[in-house]
Amino acid sequence: MTQVSDTEPLGAPLRIAFDYTRSLGPSLSRFATALREHRVLGVRGSDGRVHTPPPEYDPVTAALLTDFVDVGPGGEVVTWSWQPKPLDGQPLTRPFAWALIRLDGADTPMLHAVDAPREAMRTGMRVRVRWSPEPTGGIRDIACFEPEESAGASPTPDPAEVTMITTPIELAYWHTASPEESRFLRGITEGRLLGQRCPVCGKVYIPPRGACPVDGVPTTDEVALPDRGTVTTFCVVNVPYLGQRLTPPYVAAYVLLDGADIAFQHLILECPADEVRMGMRVEAVWRPREEWGPTLENIDHFRPTGEPDAPYDVYAQHL
Amino acid sequence: MVNDVAVIGFAQSPSVPVTDGTTNGVEMLVPVFERALAQAGLPKSDVGFWCSGSSDYLAGRAFSFVAAVDAIGAFPPIHESHIEGDAAWALYEAWLKLRTGEADTALVYGFGKSSAGELRRVLALQTDPYTVAPLWPDAVSLAALQARLGLDAGLWSERDMAEVAARSRADATTNPLAQLSGKVDVEELLGTEYVADPLRVHDCAPVTDGAAAVVLAAGDRARELVGRPAWISGIAHRVESGSLGVRDLTTSVSTTASAEAAGGVDGVEVAELHAPFTHQELLLRQALGLGSSVRINPSGGVLTGNPMFAAGLVRIGEAAGRVFDGSAGRVLAHATSGPLLQHNLVCVLEGAR
Amino acid sequence: MKQPAAVLGTGQTHHRSKRLDVSMGGLCREAIDRALADAEVDWSDIDAVVLGKAPDLFEGVMMPELALADALGATGKPLLRVHTAGSVGGSTALVAASLVQAGVHRRVLAVAFEKQSESNAMWALSIGIPFSMPVHAGAGGYFAPHIRSYIRRSGAPEHVGAMVAVKDRRNGALNQYAHLRQSDITLESVQASAMLWDPVRYDETCPSSDGACAMVIGDASTAGGRNAAWIHATAMRTEPTMFAGRDHVNPQAGRDAAAALWKEAGITDPAAEVDAAEIYVPFSWFEPMWLENLGFADVGDGWKMTEAGDTAIGGRLPVNPSGGVLSSNPIGASGMLRFAEAAMQVMGRAGDHQVDGARTALGHAYGGGSQFFAMWVVRSTKP
């Protein structure tokens, strides 16, 4: 999936997905529980208007609202728009209308989808709730609205108290590396470690930077760096966590390559964790060449070289 | 007494559909800082306060603004803050710092790489997380609901909307950084298909990657640095309810109130309005009470380039530009945030102080 | 020029790992309603609202202040949203203070919250970004190597970290709102707890909490004649996360912020002139590290203050009488809790964790990779 060309910055997909768990509190829980019973609740605000979905706090006075009233399940379309190409997660997968719908007994409209042919959509049309055959809690227990005249039979309600809802959020992005980092990534795809020097301060950065953090200008002159260096500092990871690749204990260390002015974090293996020291000299152990890609993970880990430790003064300014 | 504050420099990146750069904006920001500071005649090391606006959800990662600081070259350490939102509100925070005298200059920046994700869907996450966001109402569909409310009420027509688009693109022909520009025929626009009935492509701001920076200075420092500072005579903002149904979506009470708090629109010659949809420009003109003599969006506005989280700041920069070049004496800039103009800011700038 | 400003009242939630009894709005309101009551004001007195929160990915809501406008009492008013990583609670208080100091508003409500149970902070912070090296160390793994550097540089004995944990958790036991309240914790029990990221043990690590904090900040006309915490100095500084030659143990940004802070407050000997300090200590070793960074101790000597008991309630400089971040950590609110506790101390409203006679107090927060700093000095007397 990774996009590789000789000159363009590297790009790759980035997907973020999590099922958020939302506790509702007393008011929203009441609304969600009623939906489970195939009832829609509104709440009366300080100005006398009935709002649905019921806001927890009054839009005028900020007071907690508790005067719940039943509204709907029928109502009138106040405004609508047409969605010809539904997006992921929207209520319907075929073209549908979004609408603000004023439910009977409510004064302000609510947002939802209307399942109707486009020709049938008009402001002021009567619609009613179509209940979801498989309630999951919350607003999605309303599958959508449908024209009142063509409304079908309702599924049987499955009442249960709803105090939590789960909201899956999944988003897809295209992530790109900076031009400078892309040069580094192309180098490491070939087993080379390419840093760059800041034209102002002269410091060698690996990976190179779109902007030197001190001078705010892109790093420029390329500097080939060896695959050995010094451990500046480290921690021993004993804690297991989700998605961990290695079995604890292992050492996560800052490694300062010879000739570089900044350390990066990597693993130290091939020696007991309790023998790793600040100042220890280490060298890269590369993965098999056929596994290489545009990532520092081409280096599987670093291991001790057996050289004498670097004196403290050598790395003291990198702590 | 508090200090008077002026805009003294402004720069923006080209508005483009996609950049090669990273989501942390560094590649766009480095040259923008350079040009904005050059216009202000201010060395970077003299900037007293830095403040930015951006969004983690645009980048798809937590703390996306942190790496942007690299573009500054922030060592020795700087006095800095960040707003999650449009950088117009970062400018508001900077304005406070300058008024208190804690700093006498500031650089405000915003950036966004909207092309990295699916913008209209990402923005659904700005709606109520319990009763609205689970439906994933995308930003274009929501705007279309608002547009129809106004159409049904006779507040504007589809032709009025197309005329806004045509005027914006014509104005953008003199803006080399605009993403869209050119002469377009209203009839032709009205013949195109709906993307979200009643909205057509020309009714919606394009998806844009971009960045911008504004330089501020207080009192005598502003006078020393530039010949004609654009003095902020008033700046205010207001938010409306997060419940869509509760709001009157055919007007913008928060914009009206902000304008009043910012000193009113009397004498305003130019207004840069942050209206990502054509009908919203018409709605905002009405809410602000701008007469036909007021020149609207001479830059082309966000309908010709909409760098998210910088676009509101760009309005202030563009408006200030009319003061810098002497073409206007009193100008208004408007910025918006949230679904359907939920949160609005009005900044009035003047040449004489 | 700066107008005088003061904290009129503070409020916070009971902090727990999961506050499943409330929504996000309900969580904020628990803190806000207490702050309004403490300040003896109602909604009509509030001119503007400032909300702070760490990454939106924690709750899965983009700019949640928009949806929460009614719950925050912000509808029809100005509402600002601050995000400066872990220091955000502190920065939020400073922005609220600026609104008053700039003469724009008379009374401003500052709110900060995090509802971490909506997702998983470890997940949100470790999303695999293409091309980047996966962090092999989890959350504490970022700071543990720098703690090792501190120990190496200062020669601090190993038990100092455990001493901080014992002190802060016992202080937390005095705080009715704290997440962890461990009155029976001992040096031995801390040292017996699991070594998570050597040199950091389980008991030396902050919890993950749901919680919120709120404050009402007012001008001289609203604060005059009442018990208030007057803001005498504020400071914010930032430096990049990683750069060649960066001092990760004693960052320049923190030193610069502290120097500016003491200067503005007219303090020349902080250890002698400050009566209580609320310092952002998510891992116990950060107490001695920040004591040095803030200028309470010479470089290399911070641990000696801790070891001598100077930082306990009743000591020369009580640090984190509230129990600190080690006892409650709703990330976005953690910084504001430090600022609020400083105010509570000088107002004499800190209950069982009150430092006797506290008249000058420090509130401190930091975030990112020890790169964003926010702090203030509050006093019981008007500047």
pLDDT band for position A6 (50/70/90)? low
- Residue C23: which of A13, A28, A59 has the nearest Cβ? A28
Asked whether the beta carbons of A268 and A253 are under 8 A apart, the reply is yes
| pLDDT single digits (tens) B251-304 | 999 999 999 999 999 999 999 999 999 999 999 999 999 999 999 999 999 999
Which of A269-278, B100-109, C130-139 is predicted with the least confidence, judged by mean pLDDT?
C130-139
Residue B129 and residue A22: Cβ atoms within 8 Å?
yes
In chain B, residues 51-80 whose CB comes closer than 8 Å to chain C: 55-57, 60-63, 65-67, 69-70, 74-80
Q: Examine residue C227 and state whether it is found in any structural domain, yes or no.
A: yes
* Confidence at residue C239, expressed as pLDDT on a 0 to 100 scale: 97
Average pLDDT over every residue of A211-224: 94
Q: For residue C31, give the CATH number of its domain.
A: 3.40.47.10
Mean pLDDT of C266-278: 98
Number of domains in chain C: 1
pLDDT of A2 = 43
Q: Which of B331, B80, A16 is nearest to C257 (CA)?
A: B80
Asked if residue C174 is part of any domain, the answer here is no
Taking the CA of residue B241 and the nearest CA in chain C, the distance in Å comes to 5
- Kindly report, residue by residue over B234-248, the tens digit of the pLDDT: 999 999 999 999 999
Scanning A123-182 for CB atoms below 8 A from C yields 163-164, 167, 169, 175, 177, 181
Is it the case that residue C259 has pLDDT exceeding 50?
A: yes
C-alpha span between B142 and B254 (Å, rounded): 19
Torsion of CA B17, B20, B24, B26, to 10 degrees: -110
The DSSP H or E segment spanning B32 is helix B26-40
For residue A219, the model assigns a pLDDT of 93
C-beta atoms of A252 and C196 within 8 A: no
Output the pLDDT for position A4: 45
pLDDT tier for residue C123 given thresholds of 50, 70 and 90:
confident
To the nearest whole Å, the CA of A96 is away from the closest chain C CA by 25
**Cβ separation A211–B136 shorter than 8 A:** no
**Across the interface, do A252 and C248 touch by the CB < 8 Å criterion?**
no
Q: Confirm or reject contact between A252 and chain C (CB < 8 A).
A: yes
Q: What is the overall mean pLDDT for chain B?
A: 97
Percentage of chain A exceeding pLDDT 90: 88
| Range C50-60 average pLDDT | 96
* Residue C142 pLDDT level (bands cut at 50, 70, 90): confident
pLDDT at residue A1 in the model: 38
Is position C88 within any domain? Answer: yes
Name which of B57, B91, B96, B109 to mutate to probe chain C: the one with the most chain C Cβ atoms within 10 A of its Cβ: B96
A288 contacts: CB under 8 Å, gap ≥ 6: none
Q: How far apart are CA A37 and CA A51, in angstroms?
A: 19
Question: Using the beta-carbon criterion (under 8 Å), do C57 and B57 form an inter-chain contact?
Answer: yes
Instruction: Say whether pLDDT at C137 is over 80.
Output: no
Q: What percent of chain C has pLDDT over 90?
A: 93
| C127 domain-assigned | no
Q: Cβ of A179 and B20 within 8 Å?
A: yes
Q: Which residues between 265 and 284 in chain A have a beta carbon less than 8 angstroms from any beta carbon of chain C?
A: 265-267, 273, 278
- Note whether residue C171 is domain-resident: no
**Chain-chain contact of B135 with A83 (C-beta, under 8 angstroms):** no
User: Does the pLDDT of residue B214 top 50, yes or no?
Assistant: yes
Flag if C242 and A213 touch (Cβ within 8 Å).
yes
Lowest-confidence segment of A36-50, B54-68, C40-54 by average pLDDT: B54-68
User: Is C127 within 8 Å of A20 when comparing Cβ atoms?
Assistant: no
Q: Does residue B242 belong to the interface with chain C, where contact is any CB pair within 8 Å?
A: yes
Counting as contact any 3 or more CB pairs under 8 A, the partners of C are A, B
Contacting residues of B for C55, CB less than 8 Å apart: 56, 62-63
Judged against a pLDDT cut of 80, whether residue A85 lies above it is answered with yes
- Contact: C61, B240; criterion CB under 8 Å: no
CA distance B81 to chain C (A): 6
DSSP label of C154: H
Looking at the domain assignment, is residue C201 inside a domain? no
Which of B75, B243, B244 has its CB closest to that of A214? B75
Which of A26, A62, A185 lies nearest to residue C73, judging by beta carbons? A62
Model confidence at B45, in pLDDT bands (50, 70, 90)?
very high
Q: Which residues pair with A164 in a beta bridge?
A: A23
From C217, C219, C230, select the one nearest C336 (Cα to Cα).
Answer: C217
The pLDDT assigned to C125 comes to: 75
> Residue C58 has what DSSP assignment?
G
Please say if the pLDDT value at position C210 is more than 70: yes
3-state secondary structure C115-138: EHHHCCHHHHHCCCCCCCCCCCCC
For A180, what's the count of Cα atoms within 13 Å in the CB-facing half-sphere? 23
Cis-peptide, bond into residue B198, ω within 30° of zero: yes
Please give the average per-residue pLDDT across A290-302, as a whole number.
Answer: 94
Nearest to B251 by CA among B341, B123, B348, B126: B341
CA-based nearest distance A237→chain B, Å = 23
**Subunit contact A238:C194, Cβ cutoff 8 A:** yes
Say yes or no to pLDDT of C348 above 60. Answer: yes
Mutate to test the interface with A, among B47, B50, B140, B141 (most CBs of A within 10 A): B141
Confidence at residue A242, expressed as pLDDT on a 0 to 100 scale = 61
Q: With residue C238 as reference, give the H or E element that holds it.
A: strand C229-238
Q: Check residue C248 and report its DSSP letter.
A: S
On whether residue C92 sits in a domain, the answer given is yes
Closest approach of C275 to chain A, Cα-based (Å):
32
Asked whether the beta carbons of residue A176 and residue B44 sit closer than 8 angstroms, the reply is no
The whole domain housing C374 covers: 5-121+207-379
The answer to whether the pTM exceeds 0.85 is: yes
List b or e across C219-232, with b for residues whose CB sees 16 or more CB atoms inside 10 angstroms: bbebbeeeebbbbb
Give residue B202's pLDDT.
98
pLDDT at A5 over 60: no
Length of chain B: 353
C272 in a structural domain: yes
Which residue is it, tokens 């209209």? Answer: B120
Interface contacts A/B by beta carbons within 8 Å: 187
By CB atoms closer than 10 A (0-12, 13-18, 19+), residue C315 is middle
Chain C contact for A89 (CB, 8 A cutoff)? no
